[in-house]
Amino acid sequence: MDYTLLLNNFSKHITLTKKEQEFTLSLFDYKKLHSKDTLLEQGDICKQSAFVLNGCLRGFTIDSNGFEHVLSFAPKDWWIGDMYSLISKKPGNLNIETMMDSEVALLSKKNQDILYDRVPKFERFFRIIIEKSLVAFQQRLNDNLSLTAQDRYLKFCKTYPQLINEIPQKQIAAYIGVTPEFLSKLRAKQAKAK
Amino acid sequence: MDYTLLLNNFSKHITLTKKEQEFTLSLFDYKKLHSKDTLLEQGDICKQSAFVLNGCLRGFTIDSNGFEHVLSFAPKDWWIGDMYSLISKKPGNLNIETMMDSEVALLSKKNQDILYDRVPKFERFFRIIIEKSLVAFQQRLNDNLSLTAQDRYLKFCKTYPQLINEIPQKQIAAYIGVTPEFLSKLRAKQAKAK
DNA sequence: TCAATTTCTTAATCTAGGTTAAGTGTTTTT
DNA sequence: AAAAACACTTAACCTAGATTAAGAAATTGA
């Protein structure tokens, strides 16, 4: 298991000594997953955050009509978890699943608290990670309030160019908030317009 | 100016000595605002966060057709700022305005950084504040992806009971993501159904 | 390798919510 | 206290996107 990506992720916001690096990595669990494996199911209490070393996961909910809504994609170098459940310690309604064979580094809430205690720099690290995540969600909510489906799709293509050919279209539809049929129609219109 | 509310807000997540309290408060600026005063305009670089002591503010964007979209209401005891602009130091597209006469305690980004340095507990404090804000935005995005306008309105009424009779209906419409005309129609239908 | 499953497309029809417009309160300003 | 500005309602008509359904293409897997 290669944790280089994780160490580089830390070093974007904080500087760790060799000792701190070793201690920190010792708190993570490495896990190899197959495509469509489940990491968290709605109704569960989320007890860990995942850092994606390789592959891609998705966080999604299932509404009362059985439709899925993708709240986040987590490709390589991203963090994913159910923040609501993680901090409230109550059952959440997020599902987390791999979209292809993936490798993750798992940090349990318990170990995260130890980490905050022993290497307080991580208070800052996760504050910054969460700030960026907050900005992304605010931006996305604003997009959903102000843009057409067409524009949201174009924006998605710009934001996640690497994902477009890697994941099923219906997942992109569930992310931008339209049915797969409508996204298909949009793409056909777009192709013709050229 | 009475900062009791602010001190109580801190004490929800961290414990400060008398000295730390004094120092911390010295970093804030008190400001009294009239209804519809502007605290931040789109295109500006946001240089401060506001804690609402009294009254209510709103953060909103204006789209390319001139329509307003409310990203957040900040009643008494809430924080508001343009996180994107604040951390990137680039011009943001958020407007922040009072909805009634209000009092705020302002913390400049510069003073916030001093605070992180001199009272590191605040790394934790703001991490927790931001975590909660993130959870709220994720939840709201999910609501926009999965609920009808009717259900979003009902949920709004449950979440912000104190605001319903305090702020104009068109602001609620701009928050849940419908036109004022459609919200009016929803309310009429609801009233009849009883 | 070929059957089964999943994904994607196309097309007809439907509907939640938008648009336009006109009229009626209700605040705010002078 | 009148005028102006703003907020809310109602109603007719419109459209972006949903639904249903059926077939084609691609993937998965025994």
Residue B78 falls inside a structural domain = yes
> What does residue B45 show for φ and ψ, rounded to 5 degrees?
-90, 125
Q: Which of B117, B126, B114 is nearest to B81 (CA)?
A: B126
Residue B191 falls inside a structural domain = no
Query: Has residue A194 got a pLDDT over 70?
Result: no
What is residue A148's three-state secondary structure? coil
One domain for residues A96 and A28: yes
CA distance linking residue A149 with residue A183, whole number of Å: 8
One domain for residues A79 and A155: no
Q: Count the domains in chain A.
A: 2
One domain for residues A69 and A103: yes
Q: Judge if the beta carbon of A100 is closer than 7 A to nucleic acid strand C.
A: no
For residue A18, what pLDDT band results from cuts at 50, 70 and 90? very high
Give A42-71 pLDDT, tens digit per residue: 999 999 999 999 999 999 999 999 999 999
Q: Which residues contact A76 (CB under 8 A, 6 or more apart)?
A: A5, A52, A53, A54, A55, A56
Q: What is the pLDDT along chain B (194 residues), one digit of tens a residue?
A: 899 999 999 999 999 999 999 999 999 999 999 999 999 999 999 999 999 999 999 999 999 999 999 999 999 999 999 999 999 999 999 999 999 999 999 999 999 999 999 999 999 999 999 999 999 999 999 999 999 999 999 999 999 999 999 999 999 999 999 999 999 999 999 887 76
Residue B171 falls inside a structural domain = no
| A27 close to B (CB below 8 A) | no
| A137 close to B (CB below 8 A) | yes
β-strand pairing of A79-80 with A48-54: antiparallel
One domain for residues A53 and A9: yes
Query: Chain B: nearest CA to A159, how far in angstroms?
Result: 16
User: Which residues surround strand D, with CB < 7 Å?
Assistant: A 35, 65, 148-150, 177-179, 181-182; B 168-170, 180-181, 183-185, 187-188
B38 DSSP β-pair partners: B97
Q: Which of B61, B58, B84 is nearest to B172 (CA)?
A: B58
Judging contacts by C-beta atoms under 8 Å, the chain A residues touching residue B132 are 87
Residue A70 burial (10 A CB sphere; 0-12, 13-18, 19+): buried
Q: What is the CATH number of the domain that holds A128?
A: 2.60.120.10
CA distance linking residue B65 with residue B87, whole number of Å: 28
CB contact under 8 A, A84 and B142: no
Q: Which domain holds residue A126?
A: 4-146
Residue B166 falls inside a structural domain = no
| B83 close to A (CB below 8 A) | yes
Q: Judge if the beta carbon of B151 is closer than 7 A to nucleic acid strand C.
A: no
